[in-house]
Every structure is written in structure tokens, then in C-alpha cells.
Amino acid sequence: MVRILGWLTLLALGAGLVMAFGVAPREVTQGNVQRIMYLHVPSAIIGEYLAFGILLLASIGYLATRSEAVDRVAHASAEVGVLFLAITIVSGSIWGKPTWGTWWTWDARLTTVTILFVIGLGYLLLRGMIEDAERAARYAAVVGIVAALNVPLVHFSVYWWRTLHQPPSLLKPGPASVSLSLLVALLINIAAFAILYAYFVAKRVNLLRREAETLA
């Protein structure tokens, strides 16, 4: 299963690259720098909503069942979520320099994403600091729930505060605020990142299971 996901990931990422650089037209206002959207937006959507959504469900599931398998899913999803958030922040900074004139500003969206990233790092650090595996999983589950509850704050930050960051183009009521030619390329890249997320999580869950079996 993991091997199949690996091949699907390569195919999906390849299709995403072709769409982003070979098919999608050059954006009229920003020019070619806009193409970083095909990295920035998928990493943000999958990192924030999917990874931390799975973390929330798995953390609640672990507290309810004390299942080690569920805890491994939570752990793996948190790791991949933090990785994708790092990509989001870095790519956003690269995109922000030519469009906003600065690498970084304490914009509401940037700040809330950074807070989510730091909480995710805290989740991973907590797991490594506590030697008792059951206690580490229990405490981490609580932090995982707190982290996931920050996602709505990230999403609505562009509505609640004055911000340089534009409102959502996809995850909002009404039609997408992106032309069809750009939207198709964007959706293919989002799908590619979703498959990449699934591959990373599946791979990491297997490694965590083997580590547990070795220590048993």
C-alpha cells in the first residue's frame, strides 16, 4: 500500500509541475512569481486543514480508546503538518518579497500560522521529552487538540483583522476567486499534496510501529 502511494505521489507531483509551469498561463499582474502559489496554497491547505484536522480526530480518538495505532496516526500527522507549515511560511515569505516589498510582516494571517507552527513544534518536542510512552501520548493528545482549535483562527484572521494577506480564494462561500485556467492547475497541485501527505503519514506510521515493536 505504501509503495503504491509512493508511485501515485510521484505521478501526482509530476502532473502538478506540468500544470504549474507548462499549462497554467502567466498571471497578468504578478507575472511568473505568482507560480509559487502552486506550492504555497497546497502546502497551506493540506498542512493546516487536513494534517491538523486528522491530528484533532486522532487525538480525540486516542483519549477515548487509548489505541496505540490511533496515537501513531496523530503523531505522524503532526510531523507532516509541521513540515507543510514550514513550507507554507518559507514559500509565503518568498512570494511576499516581490508582492509586498518585504520578506516578513506581522500580518494577522502570518502571525496565526506561525503560532500554529510553534504549537506543532511544541507537540513534537513534548513527545520527545517524556519517557513514558503512554503519558507522552496522553499529554500530546491534549496539545494536538489545542493546536487544531487554532486552525479556525488562522482561517478567519483575514476577516477579523486588517491584513495584507488576501482572503481565501477557495475555502469560502461562493465561487472560487481564481480564473478557471489557474484553478485547474491549483486543484491538481492540492490533490498532489494530499497524496503526498497520505504517503508521508503512512510511511511514518509504519516506522513508528516498528520502533514500538523494537522497544517492546
Decide if 113 contacts 17 (C-beta within 8 A).
Answer: no
Hey, is 179 helix, strand or coil? Answer: coil
In tens, the pLDDT along 82-132 reads 999 999 999 999 998 888 888 888 888 999 999 999 999 999 999 989 988
In the chain, which residue ranges form alpha helices assigned H by DSSP? 2-18, 37-44, 52-65, 68-100, 108-129, 133-148, 151-160, 180-215
For residue range 45-61, what is the model confidence (pLDDT) as tens digits? 999 999 999 999 999 99
- At 148-181, the pLDDT tens digits run 999 999 988 888 887 777 777 777 776 767 778 8
Per-residue pLDDT for 62 more than 70?
yes
- Is residue 216's pLDDT more than 70? no
pTM above 0.85, yes or no: yes
* C-alpha 198 chain-centroid distance: 12
CB proximity list for 156: less than 8 A, separation 6 or greater:
none
Q: How much is the CA Rg of the chain, to the nearest whole Å? A: 18
- Which three cell numbers mark 91? 514559500
- Nearest alpha carbon to residue 185 among 39, 86, 1: 39
Question: What is the rounded CA–CA span in Å between residue 85 and residue 17?
Answer: 20
